Amino acid sequence: MSYKKVALALVALAGIGVIIILVKSNSLNIKQIECFTQFGPCNSNFSHKAQFLIGRPIYLPLPKSQIAQELSGDPAVAEVAVYRRLPDTVVLGVTLRRPVAAVLGSSTEAGQIGVVDDQGMVFNTTDRTGLPIMTVGDDVKVGTKLSPIQISGAKLLARVSSILQIPVKGYIQGTNLVIALPNSGQLILDAATGNLHWEDSLQAIWARSKIDGKIPRKIDLRFSSPAVTF
């Protein structure tokens, strides 16, 4: 056997010996859990739910589905990523739901407004909000999901609020989204199919109304040609 092969064999044996020592001394066990969201560190509750990993050998496959299941019990959690950071840390990457609009339902607790994301999930409640508010006739408790037409309406409402730069309120009527404008005005959009050019039309109409100092009594953007009534 050549000197090179002997040296390689000795190095391999030494490596195996080091690994055995580390395993027996628990040096390769998970000792801490770190958790981050897209907004910064998680609250302690998320890290606490993954504490069952402490003491587990870090070289074993991580039970990602179990971890995700533990954290997804919180309606505010959209996705969970899990990875190792050697020598002894597991890092949780939690994606929280982003609020798009607020909803007020028939069964909503007095003074409470549901907060929804772009998937229509009601993931929180609040007693005050700067979000656009949509009134619905259904149960909007935390953990429930809006219907497809309501999800579309919530997204449209958010876009309208962004264009007008004012808080807006609306409701679904059939397949239409009806939005209240200042001075008892009304904006109507098709929540089922939408109109590809409604945003440009609304921007132009709203800009003109501010120049003229007159808010339209009704803006109907359900069709290719907007209908405006003063």
| 65-99 pLDDT per residue, tens | 888 888 888 889 999 999 899 889 999 999 999 99
Q: What is the DSSP letter of 52?
A: G
Q: Which of 43-47, 48-52, 215-219 has the lowest mean pLDDT?
A: 43-47
| Mean pLDDT of all residues belonging to the chain | 84
Sign of CA dihedral 7, 13, 16, 22: negative
pLDDT of residue 195: 66
pLDDT of residue 111: 62
Q: Which residue has the tokens 């219907």?
A: 147
pLDDT of residue 197: 79
pLDDT of residue 171: 94
Tell me how far apart the terminal alpha carbons of the chain are, to the nearest angstrom.
98
pLDDT range class, residue 25, cuts 50, 70, 90: very low
CB within 8 Å of 41: residues ≥ 6 apart: 35
| 153-192 pLDDT per residue, tens | 999 999 999 999 988 999 999 999 999 988 888 999 999 8
| 97-118 pLDDT per residue, tens | 999 999 988 655 556 889 999 9
pLDDT range class, residue 128, cuts 50, 70, 90: confident
pLDDT of residue 20: 52
Kindly report the number of other CB atoms within 10 A of residue 226's CB atom.
18
Alpha-carbon separation of residue 212 from 216, 225, 226 (angstroms):
10, 21, 18
- Tell me the domains of the chain and their CATH numbers: 29-96 (3.10.20.310), 101-229 (3.40.50)
DSSP for 142-198? TT-B--HHHHHHHHHHHHHHHHHTS--EEEEETTEEEEEEGGGEEEEEETTT--TTH
Q: Do 79 and 117 meet the contact criterion of CB atoms below 8 Å apart?
A: no
